[in-house]
């Protein structure tokens, strides 16, 4: 079960994600990134965070400790933005906290060179994301951190943010344990991930007992209303059964055939060019706000 702490000081909101989590200090003297039950992503995102995060830790992947955080909106009364205060007001009670990694940096290709990401570590993470239907660790948003970045301890890759995983729980009736998800744009796809070695190592460790343990960490209240209002234990069994069947069918969804960096760049340029063809002539020379190349009237692609 997850430890429980009480938030004692509101430090700041984090606006890098749509859920607007917050950094808080707690009565155990720890600092946590809190994701709120009242966020637009809903409680399914917190359920995914707990199940996938605890499974990652059980399999030896680096993921910060999760805790249940008792949060009183009054401690954040000085927050100046009304929409954030509204979020806090809708989240009074138990929320989800992740241990804060001070000084951690977002994973980038430049940091990857310094880390020397090896094929087996890359393979473990890609395999794990394929198992848990996590399509949100991409070259555009890695949801990987590098920590520590100071001192004598060598930096390591840490997994974060699994609220978008377990996509099957948004439509249980169509859940397919053998489904292969598109991971071609995975953040570690061009580091030669050895997913077959990872499958041989990790699949036997995903047991019935382990899945029961990680799903037991989800508070009953976060499972309320799922699967037609079924009891919490029945909902937990649905997660266990799906993930257990999925790991037993890994041969059907094992991701392979990752494109190279050059292939990814060419694919992105082609996609951008196709998008621009449908724009009015006067817009074709305007740089894309998302950093994609501009396409001139003669078809020449110019970087932003």
Alpha-carbon distance values, 102 to 39, 179, 230 (Å): 24, 37, 40
**Angle, vertex CA 163, rays to CA 47 and CA 107, nearest 5:** 140
For 161-196, how does the pLDDT look when each residue is reduced to its tens digit (9 = 90+)?
A: 999 999 999 999 999 999 999 999 999 998 999 999
Average pLDDT of the residues of the chain:
90
Domain boundaries along the sequence of the chain? 3-99, 261-302
Burial 54-72 (b: 16+ CB within 10 A, else e): bbbbbbebbbbebbbbbbe
Whether this model's pTM surpasses 0.85 = yes
For 196-235, how does the pLDDT look when each residue is reduced to its tens digit (9 = 90+)?
A: 999 999 999 999 999 999 999 999 999 998 998 999 999 9
Structure tokens of 56? 């990652």
The DSSP bridge partners found for residue 106 are 145
Neighbours of 119 (CB within 10 A): 15
For 43-87, how does the pLDDT look when each residue is reduced to its tens digit (9 = 90+)?
A: 999 999 999 999 999 999 999 999 999 999 999 999 999 999 999
Who wins on pLDDT, 10 or 283? Answer: 10
Residues 243 and 176: beta-carbon distance below 8 Å: no
Distance, in Å, from the CA atom of 251 to the CA atom of 87, rounded to the nearest integer, reads 42
Residue 289: cis peptide before it, omega within 30 degrees of 0: no
SS3 190: coil
Neighbours of 79 (CB within 10 A): 17
């Amino acid at each position: 079960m997850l430890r429980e702490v009480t938030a004692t000081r509101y430090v700041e909101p984090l606006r890098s994600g749509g859920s607007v989590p917050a950094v808080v200090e707690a009565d155990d003297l720890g600092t946590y990134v809190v994701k709120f039950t009242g966020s637009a992503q809903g409680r399914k995102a917190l359920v995914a965070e707990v199940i996938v995060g605890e499974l990652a830790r059980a399999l030896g992947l680096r993921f910060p400790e999760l805790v249940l955080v008792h949060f009183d909106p009054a401690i954040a009364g000085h927050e100046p933005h009304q929409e954030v205060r509204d979020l806090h007001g809708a989240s009074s009670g138990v929320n989800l906290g992740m241990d804060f990694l001070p000084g951690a940096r977002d994973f980038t290709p430049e940091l990857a060179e310094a880390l020397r990401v090896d094929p087996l570590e890359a393979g473990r993470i890609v395999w794990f994301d394929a198992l848990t239907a996590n399509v949100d660790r991409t070259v555009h948003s890695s949801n990987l951190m590098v920590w520590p970045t100071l001192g004598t301890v060598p930096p390591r890759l840490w997994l974060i943010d699994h609220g978008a995983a377990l996509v099957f729980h948004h439509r249980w009736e169509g859940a397919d344990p053998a489904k292969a998800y598109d991971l071609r744009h995975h953040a570690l796809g061009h580091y030669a991930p050895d997913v077959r070695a990872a499958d041989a190592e990790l699949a036997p460790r995903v047991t019935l007992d382990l899945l029961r343990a990680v799903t037991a960490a989800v508070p009953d209240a976060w499972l309320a209303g799922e699967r037609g209002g079924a009891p919490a234990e029945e909902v937990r069994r649905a997660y266990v059964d799906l993930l257990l069947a999925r790991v037993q069918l890994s041969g059907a969804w094992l991701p392979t055939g990752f494109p190279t960096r050059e292939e990814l760049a060419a694919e992105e340029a082609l996609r951008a060019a196709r998008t621009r063809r449908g724009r009015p002539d006067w817009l074709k020379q305007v740089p894309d706000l998302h950093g994609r190349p501009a396409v001139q009237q003669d078809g020449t692609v110019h970087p932003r």
